[in-house]
């Protein structure tokens, strides 16, 4: 699996998306930002874990 982001970059990107009002729905992120999804699933057991770890509200 080709991963171009670090775990901290993944968390930062998730937080930025949330702050910009972008939906963090797994299917929507997978379609709009597949690299983020691939990287998140490389570092975390699932998408929800990555979102939780990013401390978004």
Alpha-carbon distance of 30 to 1, in angstroms, equals: 15
0.85 exceeded by the pTM?
yes
Confirm whether 26 is domain-assigned.
yes
**Residue 35 — φ and ψ, nearest 5°?**
-65, -40
Confirm whether 14 is domain-assigned.
yes
Confirm whether 18 is domain-assigned.
yes
Question: pLDDT value at position 1?
Answer: 60
Confirm whether 37 is domain-assigned.
yes
Question: pLDDT value at position 4?
Answer: 86
Q: Is the CB of residue 12 less than 8 Å from the CB of residue 42?
A: no
Count of domains in the chain? 1
Domain of residue 47, residue span: 7-53
Provide the 3-class DSSP secondary structure of residue 18. Answer: helix
Confirm whether 2 is domain-assigned.
no
Confirm whether 1 is domain-assigned.
no
Question: pLDDT value at position 57?
Answer: 64
Question: pLDDT value at position 3?
Answer: 80
pLDDT tens, residue by residue, 1-57: 678 899 999 999 999 999 999 999 999 999 999 999 999 999 999 999 999 999 986
């Amino acid at each position: 699996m080709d991963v171009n982001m670090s775990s901290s970059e993944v968390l930062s990107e998730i937080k930025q998306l949330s702050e910009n009002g972008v939906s963090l729905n797994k299917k929507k992120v997978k379609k709009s930002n597949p690299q983020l999804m691939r990287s998140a699933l490389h570092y975390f057991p699932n998408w929800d874990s990555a979102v939780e770890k990013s401390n978004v509200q």
